[in-house]
A = this chain, B = another copy of it.
Amino acid sequence: MASLRGHALIGQSGGPTAVINQSLVGLVERCVEHRDITGVYGALNGIQGIMDERLIDLGREAREELEKVAHTPAAALGSVRRKPTPEAADRILQVFEAHDIRYFFYVGGNDSAETAHLLNEAAIAKGYEVRLFHVPKTIDNDLACCDHTPGYGSAARFVAQAFMGDDQDNRSLGGVKINVVMGRHAGWLTAASRLARRHEDDGPHLIYLPEATFDRDGFCDSVEEMLHRHGRCLVAVSEGIHDAQGNHIAKGSEVDSHGNVQLSGTGALGDYLSNLVKTKVSAASRVRADTFGYLQRSFFGVVSEQDALEAREVGRAAVDVATSGDVTHGSLGIQRGDDGGSYQPVYAVNKLEDVAAATRLVPKEFMNGTNDVTEAFVEWATPIVGTLPQPGRLASHPVTRRL
């Protein structure tokens, strides 16, 4: 395929992650190096910024500051949740043409892959030549066609460390503690709580993913059983848990233009489950609930080094693929190489339409009944999340009673 000369444009979209700026910087550093790319721009707030022609010149950023940006959580370009209408796609292509944009990289989740796909179809229909690539990110880890997504490892690490500490807290004061973890449809992030469990009596003692039906009575019975067994109970639940009819256990009221219901940014589910346990489980005296919320995706200072590295690499790989001319559009994804058992990430290109609006759920082999995950999940997740801190535990030699 002939080479294509012109400017590159980068946008960020959807919920931010701790390492989404690593991908941004990976894209920028590769774009400025390539002879076919005549300039590298950023769109503020994703496609909204393109439509408003709010573009910035990323080629003029100082390298030192870019490196700091790479280590800063959330979207440095600003983000957006918006699906382009046909009119919006027309406007975006006009802006592309006006600024000679021949490479477009959109960093986001499956909604962003859908946006990239719609823009690609519009460009083909209009006969405008542009290389269009979706660069993956999502803490939910629910993108199709890949092993995992950048952003997940760091969020999973946050969840694991939070549960490690909260398990010690629950052990100190006893009772039932319920933690609500992000994940609308897929339980990958909630499953990561399992990494906190080392000893047999460590929490979380119960783990509820949206991949299984949530049964209120079964939940209360299991909490009671754990209280009897351990004298306490630490629970991980996904915000997306639902009953047999598919109704969310606690419903939000807001819906975005992709049709997603708001589940985060409210303590409703945690408070609901907490009241349920207080009412139905007689052995439960002290019941508390926390909703981890946005800290999971944007906490400054808890990052998986492997995740940060892969987020950077996937940005660089997108530029390499786009300029190679082998394909004109697609979605980058991380696969797991089979290198004699040792973990090795492999960067591959998938079709935009295969990733767009699809959701990859936690598979059966990672689920252990309706309220736990398997050792196979732990093995899968460990290289992505990295080595966790090591808690100490007193041997607790008893002193002989004298009274």
Chain A, range 46-68, C-beta contacts under 8 Å to B: 53-58, 60-62, 65-68
Chain A, range 366-403, C-beta contacts under 8 Å to B: 389-399, 401-403
Is A169 close to B, CB under 8 A?
yes
Chain A residues within 8 Å of chain B by Cβ, number:
86
A22 to B330, CA, bound (A): 52
The stretch of A221-229, A299-307, A342-350, A353-361 that contacts the partner chain? A299-307
A55 touches which of B54, B58, B395, B399 (Cβ 8 Å)? B399
Nearest-neighbour CB distance to chain B for A304, whole angstroms, equals 12
A69 touches which of B99, B290, B392, B403 (Cβ 8 Å)? B392
A171 touches which of B74, B295, B399 (Cβ 8 Å)? B74
Is A161 close to B, CB under 8 A?
yes
Is there an interface contact between B294 and A265, defined as CB atoms closer than 8 Å? no
Nearest-neighbour CB distance to chain B for A259, whole angstroms, equals 17
Closest to A163 in B: B300
Is there an interface contact between B295 and A292, defined as CB atoms closer than 8 Å? yes
A391 to B24, CA, bound (A): 15
Is there an interface contact between B18 and A165, defined as CB atoms closer than 8 Å? yes
A56 touches which of B15, B69, B390, B397 (Cβ 8 Å)? B397
List B contacts of A161 (CB < 8 A): 299-301
List B contacts of A12 (CB < 8 A): 172
Given A42-B394, A72-B392, A394-B61, A98-B300 contact (CB < 8 Å): no
Number of copies: 2
Is A79 close to B, CB under 8 A?
yes
Is A6 close to B, CB under 8 A?
no
Is A71 close to B, CB under 8 A?
yes
List B contacts of A56 (CB < 8 A): 394, 396-399
Given A73-B168, A295-B162, A300-B57 contact (CB < 8 Å): no
The stretch of A240-248, A268-276, A316-324 that contacts the partner chain? A268-276
A301 to B169, CA, bound (A): 14
A271 to B169, CA, bound (A): 25
A168 to B301, CA, bound (A): 13
Q: Mark A154-185, 1 if CB is under 8 A from B, else 0.
A: 00000001101110110111000100000000
